[in-house]
Amino acid sequence: MSQSVHGTWANRWLFILAATGSAVGLGNIWKFPYITGENGGGAFVLMYLLCIALVGIPVMIAEVMLGRMGRQSPINTMVGLVKRFHAPVFWAGIGWMGALAGFLILSFYSVIAGWALAYIPKLAMGDFQQATGEYAAATFGNLLASPQTLTLWHSLFMLATIFVVARGVNRGLEAAIKWLMPLLFVLLFVLLAYAVQTDSFSAGVDFLFSFDFSKLSRESLVIALGHSFFTLSLGLGAIMAYGAYMPQSASISKTIVVVAVLDTLVALASGMVIFPIVFSNGLEPGAGPGLLFQTLPIAFGNMAAGSFFGVLFFVLVVFAALTSSISLAEPIVAWLVESKGWSRLRAGACVGLSAWLLGLGTVLSFNHWADYTLFGKTFFDCLDFLTTNIMLPLGGLLIAVFVAWVLSKQTVADELRMGPPALYNAWRFILMFISPLAVLAVLLNGLPFLSTLIGQIKSLL
């Protein structure tokens, strides 16, 4: 199949922007800077870059290649490739598991992105001017405690996501990406230019890049592996779906290297924006939501033109989240269009409504259901753990094994046209041996909880 029924990216750079948009998300804005600072700074960055090179890029090349070979949704791509190469039928499960993982992540990703959406009007109206730590904590706590408010912002974000996806590859995904990604880069540059002017820019850079090898541990390696995998959106069908729309003339390997570099640069730049602002206001960098929704609003509320830069920052966060969420919805929407003959509008509405309903479980996890846990994990925590620690690594592992061990060496070489044989052979060796072992390490790290969960389920039967 020379072209997907859904259309094709107009050019290689639109695919790069789309794939980068899928990769750049909430994890780039707050998670990567924080885990870098807590795990040895520059030493962790080096480890992370090694993981990107040995795990992220090789598996991403393989996943995009499968998408372009199949030219359909990840589900139908894997079904078609299994038939075409007479592989055991269970390999088709790669497409199903990826689409399911993307759907599950979309359900709670929309809720978290809704938090950022809720903060835009708060900052625009000056709610955080001269705010104290107690006020910022209470504001965030009140947001989480209100299922009605969370549902409102979750609904608005999901509507924006499905509006883009329902319009198709060219009128929807491509049109949105052409605007959102350049604006995201511009916003990031403006905020970075501001951060450079602060007195604590060097302190922020030191926090991110000072080489402290004493903070590196085996856990640091697992964190680096897991994040290098998660940040590139591997194993959940999004990149395979986008690969199906990639022009046949584009070089997959060169394109993916550019995507990985842009994704990493956004993560590093985000850290260089966040921490100078935090340190210049004498605040402590906190982890996760605390950094984004409590520490930073205090900083914006106590600096010159803070409302303006605060709004810019949270618009940046929402744009990053939106470019990721549309890629999460695309695999299953594309499958419904192909297999059921539905219109993009009907398929998008069905997926959006289903994910929205499931997202209500995440909404309630922060208030009414907060005390209902399974092994200490709320509904949201269980979904997050299952997708991030089990389904994504398993999907990436199966993709690497399928491409390296099931498809013939010549078939893959003909599709990739990577250039010098030595380069192709090096990539194939990494995909055959190093990438699977590294992904397996991430997967095994999440198995203790899974085995305990299975044991508990068995005891109930």
DSSP symbol at 284: P
Kindly report the number of other CB atoms within 10 A of residue 199's CB atom: 9
Report whether pLDDT(453) > 60: no
Q: In this predicted structure, what is the pLDDT of residue 458?
A: 62
The predicted-structure confidence for 228-261, as pLDDT tens digits, reads as follows: 878 888 888 999 999 999 988 889 999 999 999 9
Is 1 a domain residue? Answer: no
Q: Judging by beta carbons within 10 Å of its beta carbon (0-12, 13-18, 19+), is residue 182 exposed, middle or buried?
A: exposed
What is the tally of structural domains in the chain?
A: 1
Least reliable range by pLDDT among 104-118, 182-196, 443-457: 443-457
Beta bridge partners of 377: 374
- Distance between CA atoms of residues 339 and 76, nearest Å: 8
The domain of 288 spans 12-460
Q: In this predicted structure, what is the pLDDT of residue 287?
A: 62
Is 125 a domain residue? Answer: yes
Averaged pLDDT score across all residues of the chain: 90
Is 3 a domain residue? Answer: no
% of the chain at pLDDT higher than 90: 61
The set of residues, in sequence order, having a beta carbon less than 8 Å from that of 322 and lying 6+ positions away, is 113, 157, 160, 161, 164, 176, 180
Give the domain CATH number at 231: 1.20.1740
Closest CA to 216 of 420, 39, 14: 39
Kindly report the number of other CB atoms within 10 A of residue 442's CB atom: 28
> What's the mean pLDDT in 206-226?
85
pLDDT-derived band at 201 (thresholds 50, 70, 90) equals: very high
pLDDT-derived band at 454 (thresholds 50, 70, 90) equals: low
Asked if 254 and 82 touch (Cβ cutoff 8 Å), the reply is no
Q: In this predicted structure, what is the pLDDT of residue 308?
A: 93
- Distance between CA atoms of residues 60 and 118, nearest Å: 33
Is 4 a domain residue? Answer: no
Is 2 a domain residue? Answer: no
DSSP symbol at 390: I
Output the 3-class SS for 36-105. HHHCCEHHHHHHHHHHHHHHHHHHHHHHHHHHHHHCCCHHHHHHHHHHHCCCCHHHHHHHHHHHHHHHHH
> What's the mean pLDDT in 439-457?
69
Closest CA to 435 of 399, 385, 407: 399
> What's the mean pLDDT in 106-134?
94
What angle is formed at CA 358 by the lines to CA 352 and CA 359, rounded to 5 degrees?
85
Asked if 270 and 317 touch (Cβ cutoff 8 Å), the reply is no
The predicted-structure confidence for 308-324, as pLDDT tens digits, reads as follows: 999 999 999 999 999 99
Report whether pLDDT(457) > 60: no
